[in-house]
Chains A and B, each alone.
Chain A
Amino acid sequence: MKAPSRILAIAKAEARVLWRNRWLAVATGIMVVFAVALSLAGSAPTGALGVDMLTVSIASMTTLGVYLIPLLALLISFDAVVGEADRGSLGLLLTYPAGRAEILAGKALAHVAALAIACIIGFGVAGALAAGFGNVSTDSLLALVRLMGTSVMLGAVFLAFGYLISSLAGSMATAAGLAAALWLIFVVLFDLALLAAVVVDGDGTFTQFVFPWLMTANPADAFRLWNIAGTESVAVAAGMSGVADSLPGWAAPLSLALWPAIAFVLACLAFKRVEP
């Protein structure tokens, strides 16, 4: 089949654009600066909990990742379709023998790779720094690798969300607005709503049985849960062992694995309806 080579052709061009318009450099720089700053700031209260510094750093970086990675992903992807339409290059692209799913897959390949580079370098530098200051265990190294891997998965979810809104929006401004709204809902408002429900419910059925599952259904929270539940000491450091313990171990990984696929299929369906 020729489909892989067509996907690769799009991916190469997209990757060149990300490199040339400095997106890759800026995103990597942001990740490094924030990861290092948070790791250092979060390292003050280590002694009391009795965990090594890399573990504390990972707990801080997990919180950072929940906010920053969806934001970065939406920023690259929100104009993937509507930007081409705006520029006037979408019509030409669609006359080539490449399916619309192939076009999105090519863009996704380049975008995921760019996010992966930014995450691995950003978290890697901060992790190395934290490891240099304190002792390192196999456990905390594993947690660092898990953080990098789950970050790419979380990024993939929001990249696909970006393609979805980019296909639905009629203009760049609408797409940007939708991206901001989506970020706010998944990263901030969803958690606030759950928190309010838990406060109202107290120790009732909702808090005990429904709340953990609802939380896992949100990819941003699944990312948080997986990283925190994965390592006992990280959960202690983040103070989130309660929620993590009430769920089976596969729940958060399943959520984070399913979301990119679901969002990508939705994005393809929306893109198919776009008339250039």
Chain B
Amino acid sequence: MTETVLNCDKVQKFRGDIQVLKDVSLAVPSGARVALLGHNGAGKSTLIKSILGLIPIEGGQISICGHAPGSNAARADVAYLPESVAFQNALTGRELLTMFAGLAGIRDNDTSGALARVGLAEAADRRIKTYSKGMRQRLGLAQVMLGRPRLALLDEPTSGLDPVSRHDLYAIIDALAAEGTAVLIASHALTEVEAQTDRIAILRDGSLVADDTVANLARKAGLPIILKVQTKASDTADRIAAETGGVRVNGMSVEIRCTADGKMAALHNLSGMGAEVADIDITPPGLEDLYRHYSGVDQ
């Protein structure tokens, strides 16, 4: 039984005359990992700051486990990792976490556990000044994990990290979600979030234009699947292109675009051509195509 941790209902926010959030409704249940995508300026950070209660909203409602954003109860339930997080460099990692634990009202001995979980046990007593970018980001994640939050808001958690660090970071996020924390990740790294999240929400100009699993989004978008057919000889390529309604790409291959439902029929047709077809590559629409579709780049 999962409960809804974060519930945004028709949230509206204005900056001067410009509406930066338009009726955004988004629910995140416990244990779910939801990616929040969108261009720079689409409203991702504004939405996150609204959920944190750092800025007021002008319409709609946000509730975190039933509490208003910014209330002490909500702040105790929410953990936040800001984009390109920075800390007081003169402190050590352990001292910083001790301060955060004190602010959150958690006993000190939890800090060692959090530091060990993000792999900073050895560097715990070194000054943050000496930390690499990846270590700082992990320290940021350590403070997220303090006190087992109900909701974790991560703004670009992997920006500037190397692939190994990214992998480690997502392993920690997975563990967090497995313990029942609802995780909302704002990101630009499309391929990453495709593999690492359960659901994708896309903001465009302040409106939520998509909120579903990648598979469902692909079905709804009706984006074509691309079949790339390698032929044995160049003259057959022209013939296959003509018969299947595809396009000849270069001398020996043909590209056929078909819908998800039309894929089997097209494959059946191709297999009937026997030895003239050397090979077939099937490319389903990726998240990048979906993102371009929903965020309006193609229009």
A interface vs B, CB < 8 Å? 2, 5-6, 8-10, 12-13, 16-17, 20-21, 87-89, 91-98, 275-276
Contacts and interface: CB of A to CB of B under 8 A. Distances in A.
A9 B91 contact: no
A91 B90 contact: no
Given A13-B98, A20-B90, 8 more contacts: A6-B103, A9-B100, A10-B103, A89-B88, A92-B85, A92-B140, A92-B143, A97-B75
Interface string B160-199: 0000000000000000000000000000000000000000
B282 interface: no
Given A89-B87, A94-B54, A96-B75, A13 B80 contact: no
Nearest to B45: A91
Contacts of A10: 99, 102-103
B82 A88 contact: yes
A95 B102 contact: no
A95 B54 CA distance: 7
Please give me the 10 A-B residue pairs with the lowest Cβ-Cβ distance, nearest first.
A9-B102, A88-B86, A13-B99, A96-B103, A97-B75, A20-B90, A95-B80, A87-B86, A17-B90, A97-B72
Max chain A CB contacts within 10 Å: which of B72, B84, B90, B104? B90
B90 A21 contact: yes
Interface residues of B, number: 33
Given A6-B102, A8-B102, A92 B80 contact: yes
A16 B86 CA distance: 17
A93 B99 CA distance: 10
Contact of A17 (B54, B75, B79, B91): B91
B118 interface: no
B154 to A, nearest CB: 12
Contacts of A276: 49, 54
27 contacts: A5-B102, A6-B103, A6-B105, A9-B102, A9-B103, A10-B103, A12-B99, A13-B95, A13-B96, A17-B88, A17-B91, A21-B90, A87-B88, A89-B88, A91-B54, A92-B143, A93-B103, A94-B52, A95-B52, A95-B75, A95-B79, A95-B80, A96-B75, A96-B103, A97-B75, A275-B54, A276-B54
A9 B111 CA distance: 14
A189 B136 CA distance: 46
A17 B91 CA distance: 7
A247 to B, nearest CB: 44
Contacts, number: 82
Nearest to A21: B90
B75 A9 contact: no
B295 to A, nearest CB: 26
Interface in B223-238: none
A13 B91 contact: yes
Nearest to A98: B103
A87 B75 CA distance: 22
B247 interface: no
A276 B96 CA distance: 20
Contact of B105 (A5, A13, A17, A91): A5
Contacts of B78: 95
A88 B91 CA distance: 16
Contacts of B127: 20
A82 B81 CA distance: 20
Nearest to B140: A92
A264 to B, nearest CB: 20
B130 to A, nearest CB: 13
A98 B143 CA distance: 15
Contact of B98 (A9, A91, A92, A97): A9
Interface in B54-103: 54-55, 72, 75-76, 78-82, 84-88, 90-91, 95-96, 98-103
Contacts of B100: 9, 96
Max chain A CB contacts within 10 Å: which of B53, B55, B87? B87
A264 B164 CA distance: 48
Interface in B122-166: 127, 140, 143
Contacts of A20: 90-91, 127
